Amino acid sequence: MTTPNQELLAELLLRWEELRDKGQDTPASELAKDHPDLVAELDRRIGLLKKADWLDRSFDDEEPPPPGPSDPDPTPKTPHRLLRDRYRLDELIAEGGFAQVFRAYDRELQRTVAIKLPKSSRLESAEAFQAEARRVARLKHSGIVPVYDVGLEGSTCFIVSEYVEGGSLADRLTHHEATAEEVIRWTIEIAEALEYAHLNGVIHRDVKPANILINQRGQALLADFGIAQSASKSGRFAPSLGTLRYLSPEQLEGKPSDHRSDIYSLAVVLHEGLTKRLPYSS
């Protein structure tokens, strides 16, 4: 295939991905209607991309099975009942296989906050998660979203942190709103935050664009240490394993991870931010 055709295929694939992100699965015949000689190859490559959809998922993204017919009360306790004394949950702003994140209001301090509620079915130990969250709460750095409170009520734990209004790096990349200069600056800011965390014995283990928040001043902050693990800890606490497309080789192989795993993941983020592509396609 000639170089111009390769470049045209790349443009058509990029267009297909942009439309898919908007919920439109556009067939190759429509995308390449002006280039019928490329339809078959474009269709083949779209098929390969669809087969690689699992790269976009976290290990925890699968939904738990529905309750069985013998379950007396399939509805778990709502966070509204658990947190009603102090926090008012206003809006569900993010949800993954491991946890839900709410925009909430702290009645006592009269401020908007973010509250993360891990799903009980995903926790090996609420006490272990709470202990790890307290370690993270001790991290005080301008590039790390501050944790305000950590709570445990029965078997349910929650983390209260600053609410960052500017959205995430993932949002900026999806809408092509990030320049190369901004991506480089934000990567430097996150690298400095990671260095601080590593020096304090905490590994993030899930560095990705969705966990890099951009505040209204244009500063990057590292969020969601929910699956962080103390560098000195060797226990089994591991509520999640990160997101596949940003995992380091040792994480994919199930080997112990250290600060270099975070550096690898941040490099993948930088590559994606500058090129709009992941470094590996398989």
Question: Residue 243's beta-bridge partner residues?
Answer: 58
What tokens does 144 get? 């790390």
CA 63 – CA 43 distance, rounded (Å): 30
What is the CB-side half-sphere exposure of residue 16 using CA atoms within 13 A? Answer: 24
Would you give the DSSP letter of residue 212? E
Name the phi and psi angles at 99, rounded to 5: -155, 165
Question: Residue 89's beta-bridge partner residues?
Answer: 104
Alpha helix stretches (DSSP H) within the chain: 3-21, 28-31, 39-51, 79-83, 126-137, 169-174, 180-199, 249-252, 259-275
Q: What residues contact residue 39 under an 8 Å CB cut-off, 6+ apart?
A: 28, 29, 32
For residue 115, the SS3 value is: strand
> Among 60, 206, 224, 262, which one carries the catalytic annotation?
206
Name the phi and psi angles at 73, rounded to 5: -145, 90
Q: What residues contact residue 47 under an 8 Å CB cut-off, 6+ apart?
A: none
Name the phi and psi angles at 206, rounded to 5: -150, 50
Clarify whether 206 is annotated catalytic. yes
Residue in the block written with tokens 């929650």: 158
Hey, how many other C-beta atoms are within 10 angstroms of the C-beta on 127? Answer: 13
Query: Annotated active-site positions, please?
Result: 206
